Structures are given as structure tokens and as C-alpha cells.
Amino acid sequence: MLKRQGFKGRKAFYQWTAIDECTRMRFVYGFEEHTPENSTKFLKMLLKEFPFKIKTVQTDNGREFTYKYQSSEVKSPFEIELNKLGINHKLIPPRTPWHNGKVERSHRNDQRYFYDWETFKNIEELNTKLKGHLEWSNNKTMRTLEYKSPMQLLSEKLELKSIH
């Protein structure tokens, strides 16, 4: 989760980020509130965006994802939705952001290539511009992917799957 300063002095907003472990394909979306309900909305959007089955979601221990440290019995709306969909929820150990290294790195890149350059008046404009940034970042070649883009690698993986 990336917290950003507000729009010209207004309240803060939050960027949710998902990255596929295999292809590094990303999906991002901004919300004005840091809530479990928005995590659930993001999950539903993610399921429509990613063209493959999601088996596991890894998150930190924030209240927007889990109530584990408030109650051992009560599940968050996000956890309830994951259970309903049959998706595993993996929590990183508390206070270990390096366990979400790919997300943390992508947030630094978002800062460098997007937030340092773009302005927006409201959450709708942010999400419109984020969509363009996401298109760029998912088609940008990466050394870790042997100089392929996430979309190129995804295309290859889907092609291989259809052959078998």
C-alpha cells in the first residue's frame, strides 16, 4: 500500500498494488480511504484485470487486510472475500516490508516515473492517469525478465498453456 499526500492540501489517498510473482504484471488503483472494504473492491477489480487464476495473495498485516492482531475469531471483509473465492491469504511477518520487496520496489518506481511528474485534482483523475502509467509499466522491458516486458512474458505463458 502506498500512501500519498492529498490533492493540493486535501486529504491523503492510498494506492493499492498487486504484482504477479511470475510475470511481474501489475495492477494498481487509488482510493481515498484506507479500509478493508476498499481492499475487497480492489481484489474484485484485480480478478477482472488478471487473465489467470489467482491462487494466493500476499499482504502485510494492515487492518485493511486482516484483523488477525485485533481478534483471532473475527475475519476482515477482505479475508472473507478471499475465503469465498478459494484464494489463499499469506501474511508477511510483522514489521518486515522487505518480504513485499517487489511491491516496495514498484512503489519507488511509481514515485520516480509517475508521482514526481503527474498532477491530478481528484481520485478519478488519479485513477485515469494511473491507468496510462500501468499500461506503460506493464509493457516496459525488465532485466529480471531477460529484457521482456510483463505483458510479453504473460503472452508467452498463456501461449504455452494453450498448447498443452
Q: CATH number of the domain at 45, please.
A: 3.30.420.10
Beta bridge pairs of residue 59: 91
pTM of the model: 0.89
C-alpha cell at 146: 531477460
In this prediction, residue 138 has a pLDDT band, given cuts at 50, 70 and 90, of very high
Higher pLDDT: 163 or 102? It is: 102
C-alpha cell at 98: 522487505
Question: What is the average pLDDT across 144-158?
Answer: 94
Sheet with 26-31, edge to edge strand ranges: 2-4, 13-19, 26-31
Considering only CA atoms, which of 59, 57, 48, 41 is closest in space to residue 1? 59
- Domain that residue 51 falls in: 2-163
* Banded model confidence at residue 93, pLDDT cuts 50, 70, 90: confident
pLDDT at 98: 76
What backbone torsions phi and psi does residue 32 show, to the nearest 5 degrees?
-85, -20
Number of structural domains in the chain:
1
Beta strand residue intervals within 50-87, DSSP E: 56-59
The helix/strand/coil state of 157 is helix
Paired with 57 in beta bridges are 89
Place of cell 532485466: 143
Q: In terms of pLDDT, which residue wins out, 111 or 160? A: 111
